[in-house]
Amino acid sequence: MALHDEILEQPAALARLLDAAPGAFADLRAALRERRPRFALIAARGTSDNAALYAQYLFAVRNSLAVALAAPSTITLYGARPDMRDALVIGISQSGRSPDIVAVLDEARGQGALTVALVNDSNSPLAAAADHVVDLQAGPERATAATKSYTTELLAVALLSTALDPANEQELTDFARLPELAAAALQTEDAARDIARGHAARTHGVVLGRGYAYATAREWSLKLQELAQLLVQPYSTADFEHGPLALAEPGFAVLAVAPSGVALEGQLEVLERLRAEFGASVLVISDADAALSIDAGLRLPADVPDWLSPVIEIIPGQLYAYHLTLARELDPDRPRIIAKVTETL
C-alpha cells in the first residue's frame, strides 16, 4: 500500500534532505546573515500548518525570533496588504500549488521581504514565488495523507533554524542521528497494530501535547480524522485544563504525545489524573517510563533531542492511525472525499 510504504520511507527521505542541505541552504544562509529579519511569518495549510506550528516554537526557543502564522484569506479574500517588509516570509507546502499560500509569498516578495519556500516540488508556483527554494527531497508522495513530506518539512524547518543561527557540534550530531532514530521509531509498528485493533470501535476523543509536541498532537489528530474518520480534537495540554477537561469520563479516549523534556512533568500530572480520577483510556507516545506506564504506550527511542523530537515522535502516531484505519475496515490509500492536493483561495 502506498501510505504504508511512504511511512517506511521516512528514514531514507530524511537522509536525502540532510545530504542535500549544505547546497540547498548556502545562498539562503548568506541572505539571512545580510538581512537578519525582525520576525517570521509562515503561510501553510493542513499538515504543513502543523510544521509551521513547530517552527513557531523552534524559532522562538532557538533563535529568539517571533513567529506569526499567516492568515492567507486576509490577502486573497479581503484584499489586505499587511506590512511584511522586515519579515522572513516562509511558505510550506507539499505540492506548492495552493493559490492562497502562493499569494502570501507574492505579496511579501513584492514588498521586498525575504521569502523562502519549503516545498516538495521545486517547479511549483510556490517555488516560483520565492527568493529561495528548499526542495524537501521527500520524493513522490502518492498517498493522499502526507507522511514523509511532513517529517521532511519538520527537518527543513530545523535546518532553516540553523541557517539563522549556526548549529553547534552537538546539534550537528543530533541531525546526523535522525535517520537512525526514525528507523528505530518504526519498530513500534507491532505495538501500534495491536493497540489499534482494540480501538476500532472508537468514535471520538482528544489528542494532547505541549511545547514542541503540540505540533505532533495536531498532526496526529489530522491523520486520525482523514484516515480513520475519528473525531478527535487536538489541544495543548495546558489549554485542555481550561475547559475541555469537562469532557473526561470513564472510557473517554485520550491520546497524548509526552516525550522527555521540560513539558513532561506537567503532562504527567494531567494524564495521571485523567486515568486515575476520571477513568479515561490513555494512549501515550513517549520515551519516559512514567508516561508509558499510565495506561497504553508506544515507546520512542531514547535520547531524542527535544528540539528535533517532533521529527521522530509522529512516526508511531502515523503507524497507529494507519492500523486503526485498517481495523475500522477503511482504505488508508483512499480516504473518503479528500484529495491529495487542495487548492484554496
Q: How confident is the model at residue 267 (pLDDT cuts 50, 70, 90)?
A: very high
Q: Which pTM does this prediction carry?
A: 0.97
pLDDT at residue 339, rounded to an integer: 64
Q: What is the CATH number of domain 187-327?
A: 3.40.50.10490
Kindly state the average pLDDT of the residues 58-85: 96
Asked if the model's pLDDT at residue 340 lies above 70, the reply is no
Asked if the model's pLDDT at residue 345 lies above 70, the reply is no
Q: How confident is the model at residue 249 (pLDDT cuts 50, 70, 90)?
A: very high
The yes-or-no answer to whether 2-166 and 187-327 have a common fold is yes
Chain-wide mean pLDDT for the chain?
A: 96
Domain boundaries, the chain: 2-166, 187-327
Q: What tens digit of pLDDT does each residue of 292-332 get? A: 999 999 999 999 999 999 999 999 999 999 999 999 999 99
First to last CA, the chain: 32
Asked if the model's pLDDT at residue 261 lies above 70, the reply is yes
Alpha-carbon distance of 238 to 256, in angstroms, equals 12
pLDDT at residue 325, rounded to an integer: 97
pLDDT at residue 334, rounded to an integer: 84
Half-sphere CA count of 114, side-chain side, radius 13 A: 18
pLDDT at residue 18, rounded to an integer: 98
Q: Where are the beta strands (DSSP E) in the chain?
A: 39-43, 66-69, 87-93, 114-119, 132-135, 204-209, 231-236, 253-257, 281-286, 296-299
pLDDT at residue 342, rounded to an integer: 65
Asked if the model's pLDDT at residue 336 lies above 90, the reply is no
208-219 burial by CB neighbour count: b if 16+ within 10 A, else e? bbbbbbbbbbbb
Q: Work out the number of other CB atoms within 10 angstroms of the CB of residue 289.
A: 9
pLDDT at residue 1, rounded to an integer: 60
Asked if the model's pLDDT at residue 280 lies above 70, the reply is yes
Asked if the model's pLDDT at residue 341 lies above 90, the reply is no
pLDDT at residue 335, rounded to an integer: 84
What angle separates helix 47-63 from helix 148-164, to the nearest 10 degrees?
20
Q: What tens digit of pLDDT does each residue of 110-155 get? A: 999 999 999 999 999 999 999 999 999 999 999 999 999 999 999 9
Q: Of the candidates 231, 291, 215, 281, which has an alpha carbon nearest to the alpha carbon of residue 254?
A: 281
- Looking at the structure, give the CATH architecture of the domain made up of residues 2-166: 3-Layer(aba) Sandwich (3.40)
pLDDT at residue 146, rounded to an integer: 95
Q: What tens digit of pLDDT does each residue of 180-219 get? A: 999 999 999 999 999 999 999 999 999 999 999 999 999 9
Q: How confident is the model at residue 76 (pLDDT cuts 50, 70, 90)?
A: very high
Q: How far is CA 142 from CA 149, 238, 275, 327, in A?
A: 11, 36, 39, 22
